[in-house]
Structure 1
Amino acid sequence: MTNRPPSEPESSQRTALGFDEFIAILVAFTTIGAILFWSLSRRNSSWNFNGLLSPSSTPSGSAYPDKVLPSPTPKVESNTVPKFDSPPPEAVEPKRPSLPTNRATPSPELLPPVEVTPTQSPQPQTPVSSSVGLESSITSSALPLVTPAKQKSIIPPPIAFNDVPNNFWGRRFIDVLSSRGILKGFPDYSFRPNQPVNRAEFAAILEKAFDQQLSKSAIAFQDVPPKFWANPAINQAITSGFLKGYPKNTFKPQENISRVQVLVALASGLNLKTPTSPNQILSIYKDAKDIPPYARSKIAAATTNGLVVNYPSPQILAPNKVATRGELAAMIHQALVKQGKLKGISSENIVRAPNISPEVSPTPKRNPKVNLSAGGSSQ
């Protein structure tokens, strides 16, 4: 028995792949291919399809009319449109337009970039239209508030007094002065237009109506206490020339003031010029004889400047009658009109001075001519 080298193993029997091994390799290659395909598809998902929509590209939209192209990210509108977390409740999603099959491709010069927005998805367009409409509505509604058409008046409305009816003869005079704080009512919302006015109350009204400089040196009247409520107003009325005291250094603050005293005070404080013919002006009053001699020139000046207001008849002055709050309001109003601080109002109770013709001096008589032929001589 001879020694033979060991026979080589049969490679075909040991290296051949079995059925299970072939299936495993096939599954492995299939898995690797699927992973590669999935990674490539994920990487290419962000490709830009704007080239498909450009005018120079092939008319792919006409070839596939039923296919909607993916919407590109808007670049122009994203910078100007505010972002909303959710669309407004009133926003309605529009229908998605479809591409026409036989639409000709326009030239680049005639088609601006914004013309491609109809092919986009409606989601970015919904907040665009609603937000723009919201901004325009807010802007248009805010304009009248920022730039009003008319400037509001700084004068408050007059006080509605419960005892001054609309047909009261001095209602308009009272309304003007009450709206400016010159005249005030009482705590019960009454004005009491027929109530008399004393000298202290008249001095307080003069202080509010006329801007006069207050004198530093106070006048100490014997009948006016130092802590009297109208002491500053009385001092101002005296120093500004509206009022005067009585003999023995008295003022009589509780004394009711008459109509003639009111007109004399106003004419004196305003420095009205005395007319040349006071008696002719005063002739319009039927009771001119009742005017005191000291007041005739002042009453004539007040009449010429429109300060006199008579009710019920303009021709009845009633100079010695106690002045009421309603009459005082009318006269103070006319004095402020004279100063140019208020506008005049039309009233049939305002006395209009007559037109006075200038006085003409009489022409001196000439001596008659003497006939010398009759033997006379000239003087």
Structure 2
Amino acid sequence: MTNRPPFDPESSEKSALGFDEFIGIFVAFTTIGGILFWSFSHKDRGWNFNGVLSPLPTPSASVQPNNLPSPSLTPQLEPNKDSNFNTVPSSPNDVVEPSITPAPIDPVTPTPRLPFSKVPPIESTSTQEPTYLAKNFESSIQSSPLPLVSPTEQKSTIPPPIAFNDVSTDFWAGRFINVLSSRGIIKGFPDYSFRPNQPVNRAEFAAILQRAFEKEGNNSTISFKDVSANFWAIPAINQAINSGFLKGYPNKVFKPEQKISHVQVLVALVSGLNLKEPAAPSQVLSIYEDAKDIPKYATGKIATATANGLVINYPNPKVFAPNKEATRAEVAAMVHQALVQTGKVDKISSENIVQLPQ
């Protein structure tokens, strides 16, 4: 049996702290204290202990996460109130990202457009106050160096007359025909002829009156026994009757195909225009060599037509030939003279217009 050393109860309950153990504890607390001090001195980084394990920071823009520039390396400048950016580069070589989205770029002019309220005013060397459309408009017109044209009623454009192949330049009624053809009052035929010596029937004369005067009547429709429902001149006949130019015959007959005479043309024009009858009709009619041939019912109307310059006799102005069929040229001349009375056309000088003695 082996002899063992006696048991020491005091040494097992409490042992003295050695010098090496004290040094280890001191180093540990010093290290922890340094870490805490370094963390509090960089509190803008938050409690990120990854920085403890990373290398010491160097003067580079890639030290912090996300490659953002270090606060200690990028100076913070006060933003310009008139700029769309919150930061301004300190030098041409420094690149500073804007804190807000830049203004949209115009696709044509690659220059950022400032807001309207920020556009600087254009400097002018003139001291005169600028004139806007809504201010001092009348004064700007008066001072304008350009000639001003007063607005007037727009006039219709009249096309050139139709060059009919059977109306010569020296034809006695050529100028009257030109005026009416250019206004569409008298038309020609498909072969570009006018046929000036062709007689005019009552239906054709009604159509000429409709295009020449366009007078408004009561728009009532009159039914004639000799005018079918699909007759081409029904609108013209109705307007000529409602406006007072023409009348029908007894028993509701119009006789559209009947050739119209000199006296009937002038009676219709005087009636439609409601011209005033002269004081002495018989004295006026004495200018004609064949005055006795004028029907009694028409003496007052023919005297009125003569006094107002509506009568045109060719070739002899003193021969009226009241019962002669009126030709297209004669109708054009007399309708022209009626339009002169209304002011729609200008006068034409002609030796065939009957003039009363002065």
Are 2:208 and 1:208 aligned? no
Per the alignment, in what secondary structure is the counterpart of residue 279 of structure 1?
helix
Provide the rounded CA distance (Å) in 1 between the counterparts of 2:206 and 2:163.
25
Please report how far the alpha carbon of residue 213 of structure 1 lies from its aligned counterpart in structure 2 after TM superposition. Answer: 1.1
Partner of 2:248: 245
Aligned residue among 254, 258, 262 for 1:259: 262
Amino-acid identity (%): 70
| Cα contact 1:281–1:354 (8 A) shared by 2 | no
Provide the rounded CA distance (Å) in 2 between the counterparts of 1:236 and 1:155.
24
Partner of 1:271: 274
Provide the rounded CA distance (Å) in 2 between the counterparts of 1:318 and 1:217.
35
Aligned residue among 304, 307, 310 for 2:307: 304
Provide the rounded CA distance (Å) in 2 between the counterparts of 1:310 and 1:287.
12
Q: Structure 1 stretches (4+) deviating beyond 4 angstroms?
A: none
| Cα contact 2:164–2:192 (8 A) shared by 1 | yes
Aligned residue among 189, 192, 215 for 2:192: 189
Partner of 1:112: none
| Cα contact 2:219–2:239 (8 A) shared by 1 | no
Aligned residue among 274, 293, 296 for 1:293: 296
TM-score (norm 2): 0.56
Provide the rounded CA distance (Å) in 1 between the counterparts of 2:176 and 2:333.
5
Per the alignment, in what secondary structure is the counterpart of residue 331 of structure 2?
helix
Q: Which runs of 5+ in 2 are unaligned?
A: 1-148
Please report how far the alpha carbon of residue 186 of structure 1 lies from its aligned counterpart in structure 2 after TM superposition. Answer: 0.2
Are 2:339 and 1:336 aligned? yes
Partner of 1:317: 320
| Cα contact 1:281–1:353 (8 A) shared by 2 | yes
TM-score (norm 1): 0.53
Provide the rounded CA distance (Å) in 1 between the counterparts of 2:155 and 2:245.
35
Please report how far the alpha carbon of residue 214 of structure 1 lies from its aligned counterpart in structure 2 after TM superposition. Answer: 4.4
Per the alignment, in what secondary structure is the counterpart of residue 158 of structure 1?
coil
Are 2:205 and 1:178 aligned? no
Partner of 1:51: none
| Cα contact 1:224–1:253 (8 A) shared by 2 | yes
The 5 A counterparts of 1:45-124 are none
| Cα contact 1:215–1:235 (8 A) shared by 2 | no
Aligned residue among 213, 229, 233 for 1:230: 233
Provide the rounded CA distance (Å) in 2 between the counterparts of 1:247 and 1:197.
22
Q: Which runs of 5+ in 1 are unaligned?
A: 1-146, 356-379
| Cα contact 1:273–1:301 (8 A) shared by 2 | yes
What is the letter of the counterpart of residue 324 of structure 1?
T
List per-residue Cα deviations over 1:96-142 (Å, max 9, x = no partner). Answer: xxxxxxxxxxxxxxxxxxxxxxxxxxxxxxxxxxxxxxxxxxxxxxx
Change (3 A) 1:264 1:152: closer
For the pair shown, which has the larger CA radius of gyration, 1 or 2?
2
Aligned residue among 171, 193, 196 for 1:168: 171
